[in-house]
Structure 1
Amino acid sequence: MTARNEFYKQITGALAGAKFPINTPQELLAAFPNGADTTCQADGVKMTAGEAGKLLKPGDFPFKSAGQVANTILERAGL
């Protein structure tokens, strides 16, 4: 499994219980199980939700699904 696929799986899994749409960065961080400290790791690369949130822009919101969140973060991270 590629790092991108592993990160996608971890991000969408962490947001499995989230209520969508998510309209703000604060709502997104609150949706992760450990907030900004929620961590995903693959192939020696580690990223917290707080770090990932810095890659997002106001125009990215609202998010309508966990997959949309994951794809946006991974594209911005270059994965």
Structure 2
Amino acid sequence: MGMRDELFSKWIEAMKEVKFPVSSVDEVYAGLPKGAESNISVGGLVVCNTGDLFGRFIKPTDFPIESAQALANLILDRAGL
């Protein structure tokens, strides 16, 4: 499994409690166990922080976002993965 696939799977799992569609990053944070302080790890290493990712790659004009898959793809595309 490549890095993109692994990160995609981790994001989908992390967002299982988020109620889509969402209209803001705050709605996503509300469904994450640690909100903006949530981290995604690959191979035991923290590779990204949710708050940092959203600050870098998500724009207010991206909303509404219809699904966890759409959000994960948006972030991964903009991150160049």
Same fold by TM-score, threshold 0.5 exceeded? yes
Which stretches in structure 1 are left out of the alignment for 5+ residues? none
Q: Distance in 2 between matches of 1:52 and 1:31?
A: 16
Cα deviation, residue 45, structure 1: 6.5
**TM-score between both structures, scaled by the size of structure 1:** 0.88
- Let me know the Cα RMSD of the aligned residues: 1.5
Query: 2:67 is matched with which residue?
Result: 65
Counterpart mapping for 1:34-53 below 5 A: 34-42=34-42, 46-53=47-54
Structure 1 CA distance for aligned equivalents of residues 69 and 62 of structure 2:
13
Q: Is the 8 A contact 2:39 2:48 kept in 1?
A: yes
Q: TM-score, normalized by length of structure 2?
A: 0.86
**Are residues 1:16 and 2:6 paired?**
no
Amino acid at match of 1:49: T
Identity %: 37
